[in-house]
Protein backbone atom coordinates (compact mmCIF):
# COMPACT_ATOMS: atom_id res chain seq x y z
CA UNK A 1 0.00 0.00 0.00
CA UNK A 2 1.35 3.41 -0.94
CA UNK A 3 2.06 5.37 2.29
CA UNK A 4 1.09 8.65 0.61
CA UNK A 5 -2.40 7.33 -0.05
CA UNK A 6 -2.89 6.09 3.52
CA UNK A 7 -1.80 9.32 5.20
CA UNK A 8 -3.67 11.37 2.62
CA UNK A 9 -6.97 10.26 4.19
CA UNK A 10 -6.11 11.77 7.58
CA UNK A 11 -7.59 15.29 7.87
CA UNK A 12 -5.82 18.21 9.60
CA UNK A 13 -8.83 20.37 10.39
CA UNK A 14 -12.54 20.76 9.90
CA UNK A 15 -12.83 23.78 7.57
CA UNK A 16 -11.38 22.03 4.50
CA UNK A 17 -13.61 19.02 5.16
CA UNK A 18 -16.72 21.20 5.30
CA UNK A 19 -15.84 23.03 2.11
CA UNK A 20 -14.95 19.73 0.47
CA UNK A 21 -18.20 18.06 1.56
CA UNK A 22 -20.20 20.96 0.13
CA UNK A 23 -18.22 20.79 -3.12
CA UNK A 24 -18.64 17.03 -3.51
CA UNK A 25 -22.38 17.36 -2.85
CA UNK A 26 -22.84 20.23 -5.28
CA UNK A 27 -20.37 19.01 -7.94
CA UNK A 28 -22.82 17.06 -10.15
CA UNK A 29 -25.03 20.15 -10.31
CA UNK A 30 -22.13 22.59 -10.64
CA UNK A 31 -20.61 20.55 -13.49
CA UNK A 32 -23.90 20.91 -15.42
CA UNK A 33 -23.32 24.68 -15.66
CA UNK A 34 -20.67 25.98 -18.02
CA UNK A 35 -17.19 26.03 -16.46
CA UNK A 36 -17.01 29.78 -15.89
CA UNK A 37 -20.43 29.97 -14.22
CA UNK A 38 -19.40 27.16 -11.86
CA UNK A 39 -16.19 29.00 -11.10
CA UNK A 40 -18.07 32.19 -10.27
CA UNK A 41 -20.55 30.36 -8.01
CA UNK A 42 -17.75 28.61 -6.13
CA UNK A 43 -15.78 31.83 -5.72
CA UNK A 44 -18.86 33.62 -4.38
CA UNK A 45 -19.26 30.82 -1.82
CA UNK A 46 -15.57 30.87 -0.89
CA UNK A 47 -15.48 34.69 -0.69
CA UNK A 48 -17.94 34.47 2.21
CA UNK A 49 -15.61 32.09 4.08
CA UNK A 50 -14.10 33.80 7.15
CA UNK A 51 -10.34 34.02 7.55
CA UNK A 52 -9.70 31.22 10.00
CA UNK A 53 -6.53 29.60 11.26
CA UNK A 54 -4.75 27.54 8.64
CA UNK A 55 -4.74 23.79 9.33
CA UNK A 56 -1.35 22.75 10.70
CA UNK A 57 0.76 21.09 8.01
CA UNK A 58 3.38 18.45 8.87
CA UNK A 59 6.45 20.33 10.21
CA UNK A 60 8.83 18.77 7.67
CA UNK A 61 6.92 20.65 4.96
CA UNK A 62 8.04 24.06 6.29
CA UNK A 63 10.37 25.54 3.75
CA UNK A 64 12.30 28.72 2.96
CA UNK A 65 12.39 29.92 -0.64
CA UNK A 66 13.66 33.24 -2.05
CA UNK A 67 14.15 34.48 1.49
CA UNK A 68 10.57 33.76 2.62
CA UNK A 69 9.25 31.13 5.04
CA UNK A 70 6.35 28.99 3.82
CA UNK A 71 4.27 26.77 6.17
CA UNK A 72 4.05 24.22 3.35
CA UNK A 73 5.08 24.13 -0.33
CA UNK A 74 1.59 23.82 -1.89
CA UNK A 75 0.13 26.96 -3.46
CA UNK A 76 -2.89 28.10 -5.43
CA UNK A 77 -1.98 28.79 -9.06
CA UNK A 78 -2.77 32.09 -10.76
CA UNK A 79 -6.13 32.53 -12.43
CA UNK A 80 -8.31 30.89 -9.76
CA UNK A 81 -8.61 34.09 -7.70
CA UNK A 82 -7.71 36.82 -10.16
CA UNK A 83 -9.20 39.64 -8.08
CA UNK A 84 -8.25 38.60 -4.53
CA UNK A 85 -11.77 37.90 -3.30
CA UNK A 86 -11.43 34.54 -1.48
CA UNK A 87 -8.07 34.67 0.30
CA UNK A 88 -9.59 33.52 3.64
CA UNK A 89 -10.75 30.30 1.99
CA UNK A 90 -7.33 29.57 0.48
CA UNK A 91 -5.84 29.83 3.95
CA UNK A 92 -8.57 27.62 5.45
CA UNK A 93 -7.97 24.95 2.81
CA UNK A 94 -4.35 24.66 3.90
CA UNK A 95 -2.46 26.32 1.06
CA UNK A 96 1.00 27.56 2.01
CA UNK A 97 0.62 30.43 -0.46
CA UNK A 98 -1.74 31.81 -3.06
CA UNK A 99 -0.74 33.44 -6.33
CA UNK A 100 -3.48 35.99 -6.99
CA UNK A 101 -4.10 37.53 -10.43
CA UNK A 102 -3.35 37.95 -13.23
CA UNK A 103 -4.08 41.59 -12.40
CA UNK A 104 -3.94 44.19 -15.19
CA UNK A 105 -3.32 47.94 -14.64
CA UNK A 106 -6.82 49.03 -15.70
CA UNK A 107 -9.97 46.93 -15.28
CA UNK A 108 -10.86 44.97 -18.44
CA UNK A 109 -13.50 42.35 -19.32
CA UNK A 110 -11.30 39.77 -21.08
CA UNK A 111 -12.43 37.81 -24.13
CA UNK A 112 -16.10 37.17 -24.97
CA UNK A 113 -17.76 34.10 -23.37
CA UNK A 114 -17.76 31.11 -23.63
CA UNK A 115 -14.04 31.06 -22.85
CA UNK A 116 -13.46 28.11 -20.48
CA UNK A 117 -14.20 24.44 -21.28
CA UNK A 118 -13.91 21.22 -19.26
CA UNK A 119 -12.47 18.00 -20.65
CA UNK A 120 -13.62 15.84 -17.70
CA UNK A 121 -12.48 12.52 -19.12
CA UNK A 122 -8.93 13.97 -19.33
CA UNK A 123 -8.98 15.92 -16.05
CA UNK A 124 -8.24 19.02 -18.13
CA UNK A 125 -9.48 22.53 -18.87
CA UNK A 126 -9.04 24.80 -21.87
CA UNK A 127 -9.33 28.54 -21.33
CA UNK A 128 -8.96 31.68 -23.35
CA UNK A 129 -10.07 34.14 -20.70
CA UNK A 130 -7.70 36.91 -21.81
CA UNK A 131 -7.09 38.47 -18.36
CA UNK A 132 -10.50 39.63 -17.10
CA UNK A 133 -9.46 41.85 -14.19
CA UNK A 134 -10.93 44.33 -11.70
CA UNK A 135 -7.74 46.35 -12.23
CA UNK A 136 -4.77 47.17 -9.99
CA UNK A 137 -6.39 49.81 -7.77
CA UNK A 138 -9.39 47.68 -6.78
CA UNK A 139 -7.24 44.62 -6.12
CA UNK A 140 -4.76 46.74 -4.12
CA UNK A 141 -7.60 48.01 -1.90
CA UNK A 142 -8.76 44.42 -1.23
CA UNK A 143 -5.27 43.24 -0.34
CA UNK A 144 -4.69 46.26 1.90
CA UNK A 145 -7.75 45.23 3.92
CA UNK A 146 -6.48 41.66 4.12
CA UNK A 147 -3.06 42.74 5.29
CA UNK A 148 -4.59 44.21 8.45
CA UNK A 149 -5.85 40.67 9.32
CA UNK A 150 -3.80 37.72 10.45
CA UNK A 151 -2.66 35.82 7.37
CA UNK A 152 -0.72 32.59 7.74
CA UNK A 153 -0.24 32.08 4.03
CA UNK A 154 2.09 33.94 1.67
CA UNK A 155 0.56 36.09 -1.06
CA UNK A 156 2.07 36.34 -4.51
CA UNK A 157 0.57 38.64 -7.13
CA UNK A 158 0.70 37.74 -10.79
CA UNK A 159 0.66 40.73 -13.14
CA UNK A 160 0.08 41.24 -16.87
CA UNK A 161 -0.52 44.05 -19.37
CA UNK A 162 -3.88 45.36 -20.59
CA UNK A 163 -5.01 43.95 -23.93
CA UNK A 164 -5.02 47.35 -25.63
CA UNK A 165 -1.53 48.33 -24.42
CA UNK A 166 0.74 48.76 -27.46
CA UNK A 167 3.75 46.41 -27.54
CA UNK A 168 6.26 49.22 -26.91
CA UNK A 169 4.44 50.20 -23.68
CA UNK A 170 4.06 46.73 -22.11
CA UNK A 171 7.08 47.24 -19.81
CA UNK A 172 5.41 50.43 -18.51
CA UNK A 173 2.28 48.41 -17.63
CA UNK A 174 4.38 45.99 -15.58
CA UNK A 175 6.12 48.90 -13.84
CA UNK A 176 2.76 50.54 -13.01
CA UNK A 177 1.51 47.24 -11.57
CA UNK A 178 4.59 46.87 -9.39
CA UNK A 179 4.05 50.45 -8.19
CA UNK A 180 0.45 49.68 -7.22
CA UNK A 181 0.81 46.15 -5.86
CA UNK A 182 4.49 45.44 -5.14
CA UNK A 183 4.49 46.66 -1.52
CA UNK A 184 1.42 44.50 -0.79
CA UNK A 185 2.88 41.24 -2.09
CA UNK A 186 5.30 38.73 -0.66
CA UNK A 187 6.41 38.12 -4.25
CA UNK A 188 5.41 39.29 -7.71
CA UNK A 189 5.07 37.01 -10.73
CA UNK A 190 5.62 38.60 -14.12
CA UNK A 191 3.31 36.68 -16.44
CA UNK A 192 4.98 36.48 -19.85
CA UNK A 193 3.37 33.23 -20.89
CA UNK A 194 -0.40 33.49 -21.16
CA UNK A 195 -1.31 32.26 -24.64
CA UNK A 196 -4.46 34.42 -24.61
CA UNK A 197 -2.95 37.90 -24.80
CA UNK A 198 -1.58 38.45 -28.32
CA UNK A 199 2.19 39.05 -28.42
CA UNK A 200 2.77 38.38 -24.69
CA UNK A 201 4.82 35.21 -25.13
CA UNK A 202 7.31 37.14 -27.30
CA UNK A 203 8.50 38.74 -24.03
CA UNK A 204 10.10 35.41 -23.12
CA UNK A 205 13.45 36.43 -24.60
CA UNK A 206 16.76 37.53 -23.02
CA UNK A 207 16.61 40.97 -24.65
CA UNK A 208 13.00 41.66 -23.56
CA UNK A 209 13.79 40.37 -20.05
CA UNK A 210 16.60 42.94 -19.84
CA UNK A 211 14.21 45.69 -20.93
CA UNK A 212 11.66 44.57 -18.34
CA UNK A 213 14.20 44.33 -15.55
CA UNK A 214 15.22 47.94 -16.17
CA UNK A 215 11.60 49.09 -15.97
CA UNK A 216 10.86 47.10 -12.79
CA UNK A 217 13.98 48.02 -10.86
CA UNK A 218 12.76 51.44 -9.66
CA UNK A 219 9.02 50.85 -9.83
CA UNK A 220 8.45 49.81 -6.22
CA UNK A 221 10.56 52.64 -4.66
CA UNK A 222 10.63 53.92 -1.96
CA UNK A 223 9.60 50.45 -0.67
CA UNK A 224 12.25 47.75 -1.21
CA UNK A 225 11.41 45.67 -4.31
CA UNK A 226 9.63 42.36 -3.67
CA UNK A 227 11.09 39.16 -5.16
CA UNK A 228 10.28 39.18 -8.88
CA UNK A 229 9.58 35.82 -10.56
CA UNK A 230 9.11 35.11 -14.26
CA UNK A 231 6.30 32.78 -15.35
CA UNK A 232 7.21 30.72 -18.42
CA UNK A 233 5.32 28.65 -20.97
CA UNK A 234 5.75 24.89 -21.44
CA UNK A 235 5.92 25.49 -25.22
CA UNK A 236 9.34 27.20 -25.40
CA UNK A 237 11.83 25.48 -27.75
CA UNK A 238 14.67 23.72 -25.95
CA UNK A 239 17.14 25.94 -27.84
CA UNK A 240 15.44 29.12 -26.58
CA UNK A 241 14.89 28.01 -22.99
CA UNK A 242 18.62 27.93 -22.09
CA UNK A 243 19.34 31.59 -22.98
CA UNK A 244 16.11 32.72 -21.25
CA UNK A 245 17.16 30.91 -18.05
CA UNK A 246 20.66 32.39 -18.27
CA UNK A 247 19.16 35.88 -18.54
CA UNK A 248 16.92 35.23 -15.51
CA UNK A 249 20.02 34.26 -13.49
CA UNK A 250 22.20 37.15 -14.73
CA UNK A 251 19.53 39.77 -14.15
CA UNK A 252 18.92 38.53 -10.61
CA UNK A 253 15.25 37.57 -10.85
CA UNK A 254 14.21 35.73 -7.68
CA UNK A 255 12.60 32.72 -9.32
CA UNK A 256 10.79 31.06 -12.20
CA UNK A 257 7.21 29.80 -12.28
CA UNK A 258 6.97 26.83 -14.66
CA UNK A 259 4.58 26.43 -16.33
CA UNK A 260 1.59 28.23 -17.75
CA UNK A 261 -0.98 26.42 -19.93
CA UNK A 262 0.02 24.80 -23.23
CA UNK A 263 -1.14 25.35 -26.80
CA UNK A 264 -0.15 21.74 -27.58
CA UNK A 265 -2.94 19.26 -28.32
CA UNK A 266 -1.93 16.13 -30.26
CA UNK A 267 1.55 16.15 -28.61
CA UNK A 268 -0.12 15.76 -25.20
CA UNK A 269 -2.74 13.31 -26.44
CA UNK A 270 -5.68 15.74 -26.52
CA UNK A 271 -8.09 16.20 -29.41
CA UNK A 272 -10.10 19.40 -29.02
CA UNK A 273 -11.04 22.25 -31.32
CA UNK A 274 -11.33 24.82 -28.55
CA UNK A 275 -8.69 27.52 -28.83
CA UNK A 276 -6.78 28.53 -25.73
CA UNK A 277 -4.45 27.21 -23.07
CA UNK A 278 -4.76 23.59 -21.94
CA UNK A 279 -4.21 22.75 -18.25
CA UNK A 280 -4.58 19.72 -16.01
CA UNK A 281 -3.52 16.10 -16.28
CA UNK A 282 -2.35 16.11 -19.94
CA UNK A 283 0.02 19.00 -19.09
CA UNK A 284 1.75 17.23 -16.19
CA UNK A 285 4.60 15.53 -18.10
CA UNK A 286 5.25 18.52 -20.37
CA UNK A 287 5.40 20.88 -17.38
CA UNK A 288 7.72 18.48 -15.53
CA UNK A 289 10.04 18.22 -18.52
CA UNK A 290 10.22 22.04 -18.61
CA UNK A 291 10.94 22.18 -14.85
CA UNK A 292 13.69 19.59 -15.30
CA UNK A 293 15.28 21.52 -18.20
CA UNK A 294 15.19 24.76 -16.23
CA UNK A 295 16.71 23.08 -13.17
CA UNK A 296 19.55 21.65 -15.26
CA UNK A 297 20.23 25.13 -16.61
CA UNK A 298 19.97 27.19 -13.40
CA UNK A 299 20.89 24.61 -10.73
CA UNK A 300 20.02 25.94 -7.29
CA UNK A 301 20.75 29.57 -8.21
CA UNK A 302 17.10 30.34 -9.03
CA UNK A 303 14.23 28.51 -7.30
CA UNK A 304 11.37 27.15 -9.39
CA UNK A 305 7.66 27.07 -8.58
CA UNK A 306 6.42 23.94 -10.38
CA UNK A 307 2.87 24.01 -11.77
CA UNK A 308 1.01 21.99 -14.36
CA UNK A 309 -1.16 18.91 -13.97
CA UNK A 310 -0.78 18.38 -10.23
CA UNK A 311 -3.73 16.46 -8.77
CA UNK A 312 -2.05 14.27 -6.12
CA UNK A 313 0.90 14.10 -3.72
CA UNK A 314 2.75 11.91 -6.24
CA UNK A 315 2.34 14.56 -8.95
CA UNK A 316 3.60 17.29 -6.61
CA UNK A 317 6.53 15.15 -5.49
CA UNK A 318 7.45 14.45 -9.12
CA UNK A 319 7.66 18.20 -9.84
CA UNK A 320 9.71 18.73 -6.66
CA UNK A 321 12.19 15.98 -7.57
CA UNK A 322 12.43 17.45 -11.07
CA UNK A 323 13.54 20.75 -9.53
CA UNK A 324 10.60 22.66 -8.03
CA UNK A 325 11.02 24.20 -4.56
CA UNK A 326 7.31 25.01 -4.33
CA UNK A 327 4.32 23.72 -6.29
CA UNK A 328 0.93 25.09 -7.31
CA UNK A 329 -2.31 23.76 -8.73
CA UNK A 330 -5.48 25.01 -10.37
CA UNK A 331 -7.16 22.33 -12.49
CA UNK A 332 -6.52 19.54 -9.96
CA UNK A 333 -8.51 21.54 -7.41
CA UNK A 334 -11.47 21.74 -9.83
CA UNK A 335 -11.58 17.97 -10.41
CA UNK A 336 -10.41 16.59 -7.06
CA UNK A 337 -12.13 19.11 -4.79
CA UNK A 338 -10.82 21.27 -1.94
CA UNK A 339 -9.59 18.40 0.28
CA UNK A 340 -6.87 17.73 -2.29
CA UNK A 341 -4.70 20.43 -0.70
CA UNK A 342 -4.44 18.67 2.66
CA UNK A 343 -4.19 15.34 0.93
CA UNK A 344 -1.19 16.56 -1.11
CA UNK A 345 0.49 17.96 2.00
CA UNK A 346 -0.04 14.78 4.02
CA UNK A 347 1.05 12.61 1.10
CA UNK A 348 4.17 14.73 0.50
CA UNK A 349 5.24 14.29 4.12
CA UNK A 350 4.80 10.50 3.76
CA UNK A 351 6.77 10.40 0.50
CA UNK A 352 9.63 12.40 2.05
CA UNK A 353 9.78 9.96 4.96
CA UNK A 354 9.64 6.94 2.63
CA UNK A 355 12.65 8.24 0.69
CA UNK A 356 14.64 9.35 3.75
CA UNK A 357 14.45 13.11 3.13
CA UNK A 358 14.15 15.29 6.23
CA UNK A 359 12.74 18.29 4.38
CA UNK A 360 11.31 19.40 1.05
CA UNK A 361 14.52 21.25 0.21
CA UNK A 362 16.50 17.99 0.44
CA UNK A 363 14.27 16.43 -2.23
CA UNK A 364 14.36 19.37 -4.67
CA UNK A 365 16.02 18.44 -7.96
CA UNK A 366 17.01 14.91 -6.92
CA UNK A 367 15.55 13.56 -10.19
CA UNK A 368 16.50 16.49 -12.45
Q: Residues with catalytic annotation?
A: 194
CB of 148 to ligand FMN, least distance (A): 26
Taking the C-alpha atoms of residue 188 and residue 227, their distance in angstroms, rounded to an integer, is 6
CB 334 within 8 A of CB 67: no
Q: How far is the CB of 220 from ligand FMN (least distance, A)?
A: 20
For 331, the 3-state DSSP assignment is helix
| Nearest to ligand FMN of 212, 357 (CB atom) | 212
End-to-end Cα distance, the chain: 26
Q: How far apart are CA 155 and CA 75, in angstroms?
A: 9
Compare residues 78 and 254 and give the one whose CB is closer to ligand FMN. 78
Residues 61 and 348: their CA atoms lie apart, in Å, by 8
- Binding region for ligand FMN (CB under 6 A): 77-79, 82, 102, 116, 125, 127, 129, 131, 158, 191, 194, 231, 260-261, 279-280, 283, 307-310, 329-332
Minimum CB separation of residue 256 from ligand FMN in Å reads 12
Find the largest Cα–Cα distance for the chain: 56
Least CB distance from residue 244 to ligand FMN, whole Å? 16
Q: How far is CA 338 from CA 19, 83, 89, 301, 320, in A?
A: 7, 19, 10, 33, 21
Residue 119 or 357 with smaller CB distance to ligand FMN: 119
Residue number of the CB closest to ligand FMN reads 79
Task: Please identify, using beta-carbon distances, which residue of 95 and 357 lies nearer to ligand FMN.
Answer: 95
H/E stretch holding 75 reads strand 74-76
Q: How far is the CB of 193 from ligand FMN (least distance, A)?
A: 7
Q: Cα dist. 158→26, 76, 216 in Å?
A: 30, 12, 14
**Residue 156 bridge partners (DSSP):** 99, 187
Provide the minimum distance between the beta carbon of 58 and ligand FMN in the complex, in angstroms, as a whole number. Answer: 22
Q: Which among 176, 160, 246, 178 has a CA at the least distance from the CA of 207?
A: 246
Report the residue number, 46 or 357, with the smaller CB distance to ligand FMN. 46
Helices (H), ranges, the chain: 3-7, 14-30, 35-47, 87-93, 136-147, 170-181, 206-217, 238-251, 284-298, 313-322, 331-336, 340-354, 360-363
Distances (CA, A) of 59 to 111, 169, 319: 43, 45, 20
Q: Are 337 and 290 in contact (CB under 8 A)?
A: no
Nearer to ligand FMN, 173 or 357 (CB): 173
Q: Which lies closer to ligand FMN via its Cβ, residue 313 or residue 357?
A: 313
Q: Distance (Å, rounded) from C-alpha 32 to C-alpha 23?
A: 14
Q: How far is the CB of 81 from ligand FMN (least distance, A)?
A: 10
Amino acid sequence: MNPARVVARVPFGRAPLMIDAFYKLAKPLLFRCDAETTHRLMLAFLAAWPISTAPAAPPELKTRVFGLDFANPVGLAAGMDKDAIAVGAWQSLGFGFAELGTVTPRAQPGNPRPRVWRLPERGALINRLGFPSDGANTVARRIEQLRSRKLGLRLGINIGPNKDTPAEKVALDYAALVGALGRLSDFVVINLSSPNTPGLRAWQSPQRLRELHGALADASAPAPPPPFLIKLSPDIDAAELGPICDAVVQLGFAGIVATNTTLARAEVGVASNHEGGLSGRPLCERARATIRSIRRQVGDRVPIIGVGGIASAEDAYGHIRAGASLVELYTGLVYEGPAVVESINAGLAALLRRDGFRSISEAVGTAA
